[in-house]
């Protein structure tokens, strides 16, 4: 009789636990529904505090979250471990970030010219960091299509040559240019034609000091 009583108690406890689990799941569903009813601009503000990895997961919850995660962000905080594996697939998400103003691609080991063509489709981009990448001169030619680019960081890019300057000269809105720590040997006369340039860093390059001073004097 005692054994039967214990058996009934176990069944009763299990039923109670199941009801609690159901209520918990229901409350979670209600929370998602209520959260999803927030205005898009409010969601965008909340999502701006999360990492790239979090946004990647959030964007799969619903179309609204997917739109908010990518298309309403102004700054994309991509962790270094993700930057190291960034490829064309990731950039298909990044291209949706129409409002983005700042993007850090430093140490992006798998970046390609196709990735740069994608970046050139971000109409509001103002600052891009390509330091410690395998960037080639031709990549920068795509960035001249950006009418709002203000800052370009190209330090520690071992594949760059003096030919990079002819592409940089096309970015007329540039205010900050960092080409430090590269094997560059000359600054072509085209560069002083950048009307908005305010900061130029060519430290630890082979560019003559006189050329750097002349460049800064003409800013």
pLDDT given at position 24: 45
The dihedral through the CA atoms of 146, 147, 149, 152 has a sign that is positive
Q: Give the residue, 7 or 70, on which the prediction is more confident.
A: 70
Average pLDDT over residues 96-100: 79
> What are the Cα distances from residue 9, in Å, to 14, 97, 112, 145, 181?
9, 56, 65, 73, 74
Q: What is the largest CA-CA distance in the chain?
A: 100
pLDDT given at position 36: 72
3-class DSSP state of 16: helix
Residue 54 has pLDDT above 90, yes or no: no
Q: Give the residue, 158 or 17, on which the prediction is more confident.
A: 158
Give the burial string for 1-10 (b: 16+ CB within 10 Å, else e).
eeeeeeeeee
Residue 12 has pLDDT above 50, yes or no: yes
Q: What are 160-170's pLDDT values in tens digits?
A: 999 898 889 88
Q: How many whole angstroms separate alpha carbon 99 and alpha carbon 72?
A: 6
User: Residue 206 contacts by C-beta under 8 Å, 6 or more apart in sequence?
Assistant: 183, 184, 185
Q: How many whole angstroms separate alpha carbon 181 and alpha carbon 183?
A: 7
Point out which residues pair with 103 in neighbouring strands. 76, 128
Residue 135 has pLDDT above 80, yes or no: yes
Point out which residues pair with 178 in neighbouring strands. 153, 201
Average pLDDT over residues 95-101: 79
Mean pLDDT of the chain: 80
Q: How many whole angstroms separate alpha carbon 204 and alpha carbon 179?
A: 9
3-class DSSP state of 26: helix
pLDDT-based confidence at residue 25 (cuts at 50, 70, 90)? very low
Q: How many whole angstroms separate alpha carbon 170 and alpha carbon 205?
A: 22
Average pLDDT over residues 200-212: 88
pLDDT given at position 63: 80
pLDDT given at position 121: 86
Q: Which of 20-24, 53-57, 96-100, 111-115 has the lowest mean pLDDT?
A: 20-24
Point out which residues pair with 200 in neighbouring strands. 177
């Amino acid at each position: 009789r005692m054994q039967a009583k214990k058996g009934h108690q176990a069944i009763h406890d299990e039923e109670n636990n199941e009801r609690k689990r159901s209520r918990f799941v229901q409350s979670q569903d209600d929370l998602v529904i209520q959260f999803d009813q927030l205005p898009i601009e409010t969601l965008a503000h909340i999502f701006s505090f999360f990492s790239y990895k979090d946004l990647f997961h959030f964007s799969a919850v619903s179309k609204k979250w997917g739109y908010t995660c990518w298309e309403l962000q102004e700054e994309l905080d991509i962790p270094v471990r993700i930057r190291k594996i960034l490829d064309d697939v990731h950039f298909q998400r990044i291209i949706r970030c129409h409002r983005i103003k700042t993007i850090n691609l430093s140490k992006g080991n798998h970046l390609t010219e196709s990735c740069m063509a994608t970046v050139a489709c971000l109409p509001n981009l103002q600052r891009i960091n390509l330091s410690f990448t395998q960037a080639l001169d031709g990549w920068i030619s795509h960035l001249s299509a950006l009418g709002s680019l203000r800052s370009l960081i190209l330090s520690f890019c071992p594949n760059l040559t003096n030919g990079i300057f002819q592409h940089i000269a096309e970015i007329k809105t540039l205010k900050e240019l960092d080409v430090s720590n590269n094997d560059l040997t000359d600054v072509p006369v085209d560069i002083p034609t950048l009307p908005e340039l305010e900061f130029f860093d060519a430290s630890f390059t082979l560019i003559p000091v006189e050329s750097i001073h002349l460049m800064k004097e003409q800013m």
